[in-house]
């Protein structure tokens, strides 16, 4: 594919917790996402893209830096990384781009955001904590149109205003829009809150179908801590309907952005990348929100890339990792790719993507060990905080098979062609022993390479003095490895709701046990 004009602008639109299979272009029969579907028809759609982690911060850090979770080391869902680590944004900024971000950060340390972005409006609301109607992770309710949590439309307007101001500027721009929707709480303002009749939405098969072959104990712990026993079929139908309404809200925002590009004359010289950071259970296996597992509902991400003068309506069917997108975008924009990035540059394959893709994909999750194995009586969590997020694991997809291995929890093996709902765990099936062992070996080899960056062929001794990035940690200064102090994490954010943690800590104190985390 011919590279796009080096002066092409870039618009990135990232939805939060949007499942790929809840978009029309990915096969949903009734969602009606006409704007995102239209974008897909004018773009390359990645049919089998997988996140680096089914958790917000780790996934977005991997996206920006093109490094695996096991290398950048940030596993908590609220993690942030130093902008000193080479990344997509600073690479474009160094190449002359004016950078702007609207919405949630979830990538870089707050105290250093102005070193990354020339224009910035950071808004993060967690899980809509303190909304009086949000009392469970699965609760659905209508969001008041004028409520401060209703921000997707306003952020869209800010991004449109930025692009309109920048259309005649001598520098190209990067505009990165990070929506809160459709992240829980399951709530949407009018008219999106009533677009779908709960009685008519489809329930996932796993809501009622039995799971064969066992599952990780972390699922039962999360169900207990989120009090899923109180969520009946009527409640989950309301959750699904409202989740679909949130997605339609984002779809209309995408439509406004695309119209803005056309009206300002920017469409012909602006690349557009639409994606999500990970998926959402929304009833899958009688869970909502997320937990550190690797089901398709959580790990398969929508990813759509439109390049000026590039392919239209192509589908990249091969396996792709989230770490591939930064080098692919930089390659397409003719911007130097930092040697620390481990992803593959697919920009040369986008015009004719057939036959391209990875042999396998790697996904990682879990904050730390051990896995919390027994629900704590009296604990109610509205999001998968500690100890629900304990238990590291790694996943490998190879062909139709997917292997999920956990440090100290039940492992899983699925054949996605035969069992797309992932209801039959074949990890202990003697008939699947050969493929299980082969995938275990392949996964071990992939994990061994996570912290060893591939820099290509090294000619020796002709380039003996090369700067070999494989010998350096991503973050040299130990002070950059942790989260910023809590006071620095607030810009325009909803206050953190400690009630879920409070119940946990009180319960542990009563039992004379040390609080986790």
Confidence of residue 475 (pLDDT cuts 50, 70, 90): confident
Provide the pLDDT for residue 69.
Answer: 94
For the stretch 69-118, pLDDT in tens is 999 988 887 888 999 999 999 999 999 999 999 999 889 999 999 999 99
Q: Helices 325-332 & 56-65, crossing angle to 10 degrees? A: 40
- Closest to 30 (Cα-Cα) out of 245, 239, 219: 245
Domains in the chain with CATH codes:
9-215+230-358 (3.40.720.10)
Provide the pLDDT for residue 340.
Answer: 87
Provide the pLDDT for residue 452.
Answer: 66
- Closest to 491 (Cα-Cα) out of 121, 147, 57, 151: 121
Provide the pLDDT for residue 488.
Answer: 39
CA distance 345 to 332: 9
Range in 77-91, 171-185, 350-364, 485-499 with the lowest mean pLDDT: 485-499
Single pTM value for the model? 0.89
Average pLDDT of the residues in 305-312: 93
Confidence of residue 483 (pLDDT cuts 50, 70, 90): very low
Confidence of residue 472 (pLDDT cuts 50, 70, 90): low
Provide the pLDDT for residue 456.
Answer: 55
Strands 314-321 and 303-306: unpaired
pLDDT at 485 over 50: no
CA distance 439 to 447: 12
Q: Which of 82-86, 142-146, 231-235 has the highest mean pLDDT?
A: 231-235
Cβ atoms of 59 and 277 within 8 Å: the answer is yes
Average pLDDT of the residues in 140-155: 92
Provide the pLDDT for residue 125.
Answer: 77
Phi, psi of 417 (to 5 degrees): -70, -40
Q: What mean pLDDT, rounded, does the chain reach?
A: 88
Provide the pLDDT for residue 355.
Answer: 82
For the stretch 369-387, pLDDT in tens is 899 999 999 899 988 888 8
Average pLDDT of the residues in 466-481: 53
Provide the pLDDT for residue 4.
Answer: 46
Average pLDDT of the residues in 172-185: 95
Paired with 413 in beta bridges are 403
pLDDT at 2 over 80: no
Percent pLDDT > 70 in the chain is 86
For the stretch 246-296, pLDDT in tens is 999 999 999 999 999 999 999 999 999 999 999 999 999 999 999 999 999
For the stretch 331-342, pLDDT in tens is 999 999 998 899
Burial class (CB within 10 angstroms; exposed 0-12, middle 13-18, buried 19+) of 510: exposed
Q: What Å distances lie between residue 495 and 56, 63, 129, 487, 490, CA to CA?
A: 18, 27, 7, 11, 8
Give the 3-state secondary structure of 127-173: CCCCCCCCCCCCCEEECCCCCCCCCHHHHHHHHHHHHHHHCCCCCCE
Confidence of residue 476 (pLDDT cuts 50, 70, 90): low
Residues 6+ positions from 240 with CB-CB distance below 8 Å: 196, 198, 201, 202, 203, 282, 283
pLDDT at 241 over 90: yes
CB-CB neighbours of 300 under 10 Å: 27
Percent pLDDT > 90 in the chain is 74
Provide the pLDDT for residue 479.
Answer: 41
Confidence of residue 463 (pLDDT cuts 50, 70, 90): very low
CA distance 115 to 85: 13
Computed from CA positions of residues 479, 483, 486, 489, in that sequence, does the dihedral angle turn out positive or negative?
Answer: positive
pLDDT at 3 over 60: no
Cβ atoms of 53 and 299 within 8 Å: the answer is no
Q: Which residue has the higher pLDDT, 472 or 444?
A: 444
Average pLDDT of the residues in 303-314: 94
């Amino acid at each position: 594919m011919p590279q796009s004009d080096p002066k092409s602008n870039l618009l990135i639109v990232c939805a939060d917790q949007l499942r790929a299979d809840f978009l029309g272009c990915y096969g949903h029969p009734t969602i009606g996402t006409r704007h995102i579907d239209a974008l897909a028809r004018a773009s390359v759609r990645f049919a089998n893209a997988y996140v680096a982690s089914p958790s917000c911060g780790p996934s977005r850090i991997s996206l920006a830096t093109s490094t695996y979770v096991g290398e950048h080391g940030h596993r908590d869902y609220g993690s942030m990384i130093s902008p000193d680590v080479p990344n997509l944004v600073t690479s474009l900024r160094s190449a002359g781009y004016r950078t702007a971000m609207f919405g949630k950060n979830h990538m870089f340390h707050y105290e250093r955001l102005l070193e990354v972005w020339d224009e910035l409006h950071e808004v993060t609301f967690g899980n809509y904590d303190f909304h009086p109607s949000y009392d469970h992770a699965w609760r659905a309710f209508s969001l008041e149109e004028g409520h401060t949590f209703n921000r997707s439309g306003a952020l869209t307007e800010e991004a449109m205003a930025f692009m309109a101001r920048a259309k005649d500027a001598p520098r190209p721009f990067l505009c990165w829009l990070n929506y809160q929707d459709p992240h829980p709480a399951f709530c949407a303002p009018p008219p999106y809150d009533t677009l779908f009749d709960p009685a008519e939405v489809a329930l996932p098969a796993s809501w009622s179908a039995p799971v064969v072959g066992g599952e990780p104990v972390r699922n039962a712990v999360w169900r207990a801590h989120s009090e899923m026993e109180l969520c009946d079929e009527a409640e989950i139908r309301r959750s699904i309907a409202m989740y679909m309404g949130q997605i339609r809200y984002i779809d209309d925002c995408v439509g406004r952005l695309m119209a803005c590009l056309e009206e300002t004359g920017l469409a012909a010289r602006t690349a557009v990348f639409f994606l999500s950071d990970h998926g959402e259970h929304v009833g899958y296996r009688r869970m909502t929100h997320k937990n550190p597992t690797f089901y398709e509902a959580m790990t398969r991400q929508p990813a759509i890339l439109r390049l000026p003068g590039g392919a239209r309506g192509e589908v990249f069917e091969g396996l792709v990792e989230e770490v591939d997108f930064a080098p692919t975008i930089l390659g397409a924009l003719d911007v130097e790719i930092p040697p620390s990035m481990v992803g593959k540059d697919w920009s040369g394959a986008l015009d004719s993507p057939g036959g391209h893709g990875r042999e396998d994909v790697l996904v990682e999750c879990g904050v730390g060990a051990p896995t919390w194995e027994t629900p704590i009586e009296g604990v109610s969590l509205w999001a998968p905080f500690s100890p629900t997020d304990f238990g590291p694991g790694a996943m490998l997809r190879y062909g139709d098979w997917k292997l999920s291995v956990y440090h100290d929890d039940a492992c899983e093996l699925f054949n996605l062609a035969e069992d797309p709902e992932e209801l039959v765990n074949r990890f202990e099936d003697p008939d699947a022993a050969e493929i299980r062992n082969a995938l275990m070996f392949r996964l071990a080899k992939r994990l061994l390479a996570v912290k060893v960056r591939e820099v290509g062929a090294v000619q020796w001794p002709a380039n003996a003095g090369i700067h070999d990035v494989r010998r350096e940690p991503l973050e040299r200064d130990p002070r950059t490895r942790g989260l910023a102090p809590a006071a620095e994490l607030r810009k325009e954010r909803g206050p953190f709701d400690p009630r879920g943690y409070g119940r946990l800590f009180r319960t542990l104190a009563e039992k004379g046990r040390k609080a986790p985390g």
